[in-house]
Amino acid sequence: MLLRPGLLLLFSLAACAHAVTLTNVRDGTEATGTHHPWSQSIQIILPSGERCEGRYQTLTTKTLGEESLFYRSHVGTILGRNTVERFHGYARLTGEQGTVVEVVFSSGWTGGGFGVAKASSGEEYRVTF
Q: Which residues are paired to 94 by β-bridges? A: 53, 100
Q: Is 12 helix (H, G, I), strand (E, B) or coil?
A: helix
> What pLDDT was estimated at residue 99?
97
At 40-83, the pLDDT tens digits run: 899 999 999 999 999 998 876 556 777 888 777 766 666 655 55
- Residue 24 contacts residue 125 (beta carbons within 8 Å): yes
Domain coverage including residue 112: 5-128
- In the chain, the number of structural domains is 1
Nearest to 38 by CA among 15, 10, 13, 54: 15
What is the Cα–Cα distance from 101 to 96, expressed in whole angstroms? Answer: 12
